[in-house]
Amino acid sequence: MNAHFVTLPGDGIGPEVIAQAIRVLEAVADRFDHTFSFEEELIGGAAIDAHGAALGLETVEAALASDAVLLGAVGGPRWDDPNSRVRPEQGLLGIREAMRLFANLRPITVFPQLADASPLRPEILRGVDILFFRELTGGIYFGESGVGEGSAYQVMSYTEGEVARIVRMAADSARTRRGKLTMVDKANVLEPSRLWRRVTTELIAAEYEDLDFEVVLVDAMAMYLLSRPADYDVVVTANLFGDILTDEASMITGSLGMLPSASVGLDGPGLYEPVHGSAPDIAGAGVANPLATILAAAMALRHSLNLEQEAAAVEAAVASVIASGLRTPDIAAGGESVGTTAMADAVLAALSASTE
């Protein structure tokens, strides 16, 4: 296969972790007889410094012409002027909109060897493997808003089509996993949630009767993620609820440095990134954990290129390295640790050993 990746290293540790993910993708191409090419573009603070805007037209055009986009991170204190109308985060929102990405996929997987890094008890963590589908382009974040005399408002609005397309995507994924789908809403008080519940229930009954389907209220789900997270397989929910719940769920693993994320649409390339931020406090120190970005590259192989075997090989290599005891500082719990490049070197060695 020939595939073209656009890389958006961005700010802080973004360039460091993207560089290691590229090394892994190059190794995958070599061992599985593919040809991958890479094109770097600017986004976030780096783009502001170069062009005065967080996202340029050339970056959008390159992303749309690619097979997959790999993003590092955006933002940092040097661009945090509250009076500025140009912010690095505008680049992330802009590229998602330009690429028509409406579904955010965030896997929450616990590596048994890292259980001690989690604030939850080990017995609660056993078997946790959740895939969240967060609606990304609708809801309260994109609703009509305004500020009045001593008041403010923001409208939460959804259409049937917006709900159906992400529920269908999540249900299709559940069929390839453990066959369980959970939809999270607040239908007891919110009218948009009642739309979500009606559309989802009708769709599952008509097209996905084979799934184990349930509905959970968002406040209950916030508690269940801490008390029995292993009960869940695929979870689909609206933008606001997904934003909050996935951040909560990310702490189950004990480190943001281990979590990848994907934003996809019905067609065209997807956008793949680590969940962690730009971490400007350690930028340039060579100690950032590259594993989330490497796992994001594996998601790109699976979801944009349909290369399941290759994606699984990368994920198995990461699991092997973690099982061997190698740690970057964020997951070392104060013990011995290695740097960014050494961790990626170990993943490459594990990948090589598994594909010989």
Domain boundaries, the chain: 1-99+268-356, 112-255
pLDDT range class, residue 250, cuts 50, 70, 90? confident
Residue of 279, 277, 273, 311 lying closest to 293 (CA atoms): 273
What's the topology of domain 1-99+268-356? Isopropylmalate Dehydrogenase (3.40.718)
Q: Quick check: is 11 catalytic? A: no
Q: Quick check: is 233 catalytic? A: no
In one-letter notation, the amino acid at residue 342 is A
3-state secondary structure of 2: strand
> Which of the following is catalytic: 30, 172, 219, 281?
219
> Which of the following is catalytic: 30, 210, 247, 281?
247
Q: How many H-runs (helices) and E-runs (strands) does the chain carry?
A: 12, 12
> Which of the following is catalytic: 11, 158, 185, 186?
186
- pLDDT of amino acid 257: 74
pLDDT range class, residue 260, cuts 50, 70, 90? very high
Q: Quick check: is 141 catalytic? A: yes
pLDDT range class, residue 81, cuts 50, 70, 90? confident
Q: Which residue has the higher pLDDT, 335 or 10?
A: 10
- pLDDT of amino acid 158: 97
**Token digits for 14?**
């973004």
CA atoms of 154 and 158, how far apart (whole Å): 13
- pLDDT of amino acid 334: 83
CA atoms of 237 and 222, how far apart (whole Å): 13
HSE (side-chain half, CA atoms, 13 Å) at 154: 6
CA atoms of 265 and 77, how far apart (whole Å): 32
| Mean pLDDT, all residues of the chain | 94
- pLDDT of amino acid 209: 97
Q: Quick check: is 67 catalytic? A: no
> Which of the following is catalytic: 11, 185, 233, 243?
243
**Pick from 88-97, 246-255, 346-355: least confident:** 246-255
3-state secondary structure of 263: strand
- pLDDT of amino acid 223: 97
User: Tell me, what DSSP letter sits at residue 123?
Assistant: H
Instruction: Specify whether the CB–CB gap between 292 and 253 falls below 8 A.
Output: no
pLDDT tops 90 at residue 82: no
| Assigned CATH class of 112-255 | alpha beta
Q: What percent of the chain has pLDDT over 70?
A: 100
- pLDDT of amino acid 252: 85
In one-letter notation, the amino acid at residue 130 is I
Asked if domains 1-99+268-356 and 112-255 share a fold, the reply is: yes
- pLDDT of amino acid 48: 96
Q: Quick check: is 219 catalytic? A: yes
- pLDDT of amino acid 130: 96
Beta bridge partners of 273: 261
pLDDT range class, residue 85, cuts 50, 70, 90? confident
**Pick from 308-317, 327-336, 345-354: least confident:** 327-336
- pLDDT of amino acid 304: 96
pLDDT range class, residue 111, cuts 50, 70, 90? confident
Instruction: Specify whether the CB–CB gap between 138 and 162 falls below 8 A.
Output: yes
* pLDDT tens digits, one per residue of 116-144: 778 888 889 888 999 999 999 999 988 99
Angle, alpha carbons 269-10-2 (nearest 5°): 35
**Pick from 23-37, 249-263, 269-283, 332-346: least confident:** 249-263
3-state secondary structure of 307: coil
**Token digits for 19?**
């560089």
pLDDT tops 80 at residue 335: yes
The arithmetic mean of pLDDT across residues 142-160, rounded, is 94
Identify each DSSP E strand in the chain by its residue range.
2-10, 35-40, 68-73, 103-109, 129-135, 145-148, 151-154, 180-185, 212-217, 234-237, 260-264, 270-274
Residue of 94, 22, 85, 77 lying closest to 52 (CA atoms): 85
* pLDDT tens digits, one per residue of 177-229: 999 999 999 999 999 999 999 999 999 999 999 999 999 999 999 999 999 99
User: Alpha-carbon Rg of the chain, whole angstroms?
Assistant: 20
- pLDDT of amino acid 201: 98
Q: Give the contacts of 329 (CB within 8 A, at least 6 positions apart).
A: 287, 289, 337
> Which of the following is catalytic: 129, 141, 180, 231?
141
